[in-house]
Amino acid sequence: MTKLSNALFNRLVIAIPYIWLIIFFMVPFFIVLRISFSQTAIAMPPYLPVFSLSDGWQGFWDNIGQLSFDNYIWLTEDALYINAYISSLTIAFISTCLTLLIGYPIAYGMARAPTSIRPTLLMLVILPFWTSFLIRVYAWIAILKPEGFLNQFLQAIGIIDDPLIILNTNIAVYIGIVYSYLPFMVLPLYSTLEKMDESLIEAAGDLGCPPLKAFWTITFPLSLPGVIAGFLLVFIPTVGEFVIPDLLGGSSTLMIGKTLWTEFNANRDWPVSAAVAIILLLVLVIPIAIFQNAQAKAAQQ
Amino acid sequence: MKSLGSIRRSFAPWNDSSAKPYISFKNVTKRFGDFTAVDDLSLDIYNREFFALLGASGCGKSTLLRMLAGFETPTSGQIILDGQDLSQTPPYRRPVNMMFQSYALFPHMTVEKNIGFGLKQDGMPKDQIAYRVAQMLKLVKLEKFASRKPHQLSGGQRQRVALARSLAKQPKVLLLDEPLGALDKKLREETQFELMDLQQDLGLTFVVVTHDQEEAMTMADRIAVMSAGKVVQVATPAEIYEAPNSRFVADFIGDVNIFDGNVVSSEGGKTQIAVSEDLTIVAEQNGSGPASGAAAFAIRPEKVRIAREAPANPGFNAVKGEIWDIGYLGDMTIYIVKLASGQTVRASRLNASRELENPIGYDEEVWVSFDDNAGVVLKD
Ligand SMILES: Nc1ncnc2c1ncn2[C@@H]1O[C@H](COP(=O)(O)OP(=O)(O)OP(=O)(O)O)[C@@H](O)[C@H]1O
Ligand SMILES: [Mg+2]
């Protein structure tokens, strides 16, 4: 083996993730982007223009000329879309915060548990994935419905007389999201907390810092990378979440995933739903890119 | 550098039966599972003492300090500080600061913030914190690095930050776990003296853990030699060196020659030990030697003489051998002599004159001899 083939190999290794991204992210992205600039049509596929090699150069340029921002303008004109975006972001934000609040103590407890039982605890966190996501969400219907397990239990022990209406409200959506996405919060938190040197807390205590204060001045700031990773891992998919609001939420639960589904399947309006998807992507990617850029700059200094 | 002065010379509260120990370990045992890290250990440390814990890796030095600081709870026994049982006092309320062996610097804080952390916890005003931090930075010569983060420092610099951080609060008791291990020789020696001055000036009690016996000898008022969770000997550096109480201590501190033999007689203040056909040792009696049976005689290389001529009383504290190896160290020369019995003896000689002609050479026959008060008799 020579240096040359080594270098080639190194490049290949680096290239693999890029190739992956191009095939499975960039190409679909450009297809969606291009559909979002089209007009709906009763045809197959249900939009115009359709690019075809047989059109030649002239046809290509004609088709380009037909692309427009109409769908995006349409999105701004109908309050439904803006409300759906805002409501999605709000629901996602609140449920991510709830996930963090519940996930942090779990991850902390796991990281402080005796080394011998940590792998077991880790398994337990991942265990729900062994069952289909859909089935688990359906199970929540059985728990939360007016005559469901939760209400039966609460009535049996006499806390409530009339069943609580939880199913088909935003509360059910929060419960569903927190439950489903908890592992995505716990795992990155656990991995940063577990790596943390326990003697730092001892040192803080040694210097006169009581445990609770030591948590806020030492442990929490040092776990921020995990908090951010967990937050993004939960927040991003939740914004576009469809199944949970569809099954657990009510008619008043407005989320962009549902809107997109309606546009795409019920209205067969591919261009508008493509535009909805592109805006969603931008709403998520741009702030995160800015944030990461700032982080990288801060790290450099 | 300030002189270490006369206060130090007369400082010996451990010999004063009316003096009260400041820190007392009373039959302290610490077990991790079924492993005993500290084994029924009792130890008194006095106010303003510079106390060193010396011992091989894993003998329980850090565990002892960590119990004093409050990070480990003794399995049994008591730790008393200034007359108070510490068992109910959490670490953050103990008037004790510790410099961690792993430094334990806060990675998200600058050097300055790290050093000022303890002062901030005490609610000291900002300007006073800044003043004290600047003082500490100067002490450890890190003024230029005040706004760096720990990961931007070298190992030795980190160690100095850890030292400065533990010193900043000027606690009554300072526990230092290998404080100078990562420093180069020159800085290490400088810092040793700085630490001694500081301890004197502020009237603090220092408990220092070290691997380095020279460091312990230089700095400490007293040294405790530990082995497998127990204290083997506690004494001043000179006593530890000149009158070790066991083979372990003699062997652990400095170089030593040990002759094994049997006690032939023990009278008139002298013990006679038969070592081999051509050597009987006559030594002054001392506390740790047995009156009969197997015994060992330990003698330091610098107290062993070598000469070409036979001494006055061959066979008694004198034996013939052959030069086996010579190590020239500049200020002194170390000779390894092989005796007829097969044992090797190490003798060191100061090179007091520039004696370049006719030095003792390899394979030459020489006489090894020593005085009867030059070594100590130990139990087997
Ligand atoms: N938390 C723990 N659990 C189990 N064993 C431990 C624990 N802490 C220390 N030990 C064991 O106790 C013994 C003493 O450890 P300690 O850290 O006090 O050694 P030390 O004398 O400071 O050694 P070194 O000079 O290498 O720092 C070691 O054998 C170590 O393995
Ligand atoms: Mg140690």
Tell me the one-letter amino acid at B173: V
CA–centroid distance, residue B202 to ligand 2 (Å): 26
Cβ of B71 closer than 6 Å to ligand 1, yes or no, is no
Q: What is the pLDDT of residues B15-26, one digit of tens each?
A: 888 889 999 999
CA–centroid distance, residue B38 to ligand 1 (Å): 9
pLDDT-based confidence at residue B288 (cuts at 50, 70, 90):
low
pTM score above 0.95: no
**Between chain A and chain B, how many beta carbons pairs sit less than 8 Å apart?**
60
List domains and CATH numbers for chain B: 13-246 (3.40.50.300), 255-378 (2.40.50.140)
What share of chain B in percent tops pLDDT 70? 96
In degrees and rounded to multiples of 5, residue B96 shows phi and psi of -135, 135
Question: Pick from A197, A208, A222: which is nearest to B104 by CB?
Answer: A197
- Check B106 against A205: CB less than 8 A apart: no
Substitution target from A196, A197, A201, A206 for chain B, most B beta carbons within 10 A: A206
Highest mean pLDDT among A116-125, A249-258, B314-323: A116-125
* B91 Cβ under 8 Å from any chain A Cβ: yes
Please check the confidence at residue B147 and state whether its pLDDT lies above 90: yes
CA–centroid distance, residue B243 to ligand 1 (Å): 29
Cβ neighbours around A160 below 10 Å, total? 12
Mean pLDDT of chain A: 90
pLDDT at B2: 41
Task: Single out the residue of A274, A224, A241, A221 nearest to residue A93, CA to CA.
Answer: A241
pLDDT at A171: 93
Q: What is the pLDDT of residues B241-276, one digit of tens each?
A: 988 988 899 988 888 999 998 888 887 788 888 888
* A236 Cβ under 8 Å from any chain B Cβ: no
Ligand nearest to the CA of B35: 1
Q: What is the pLDDT of residues B51-101, one digit of tens each?
A: 999 998 999 999 999 999 999 999 999 999 999 999 889 999 999 999 998
Please check the confidence at residue B357 and state whether its pLDDT lies above 70: no
Quick one: A72-300 is in which CATH superfamily?
A: MetI-like (1.10.3720.10)
Q: What is the mean pLDDT of residues A180-200?
A: 94
* B362 Cβ under 8 Å from any chain A Cβ: no
- Contacts of B9-16 with C-beta under 8 Å, sequence gap 24+, read B11/B48, B11/B49, B11/B221, B12/B221, B12/B236, B13/B46, B13/B47, B13/B49, B14/B44, B14/B46, B14/B222
Mean pLDDT of chain B: 88
pLDDT at A218: 95
Q: Which residue has the tokens 């504290």?
A: B317
Question: Pick from B108, B121, B165: which is nearest to A221 by CB?
Answer: B108
Using an 8 Å CB-CB cutoff, list chain A residues near B106: 200, 203-204, 218
Q: How far apart, in whole angstroms, are the C-alpha atoms of residue B336 and residue B327?
A: 8
Measured CA to CA in angstroms, residue A158 lies from A70, A143, A147, A155 at distances of 58, 18, 15, 5
- Check B121 against A209: CB less than 8 A apart: yes
Ligand nearest to the CA of B227: 1
Q: How far apart, in whole angstroms, are the C-alpha atoms of residue A120 and residue A117?
A: 5
ipTM entry: 0.80
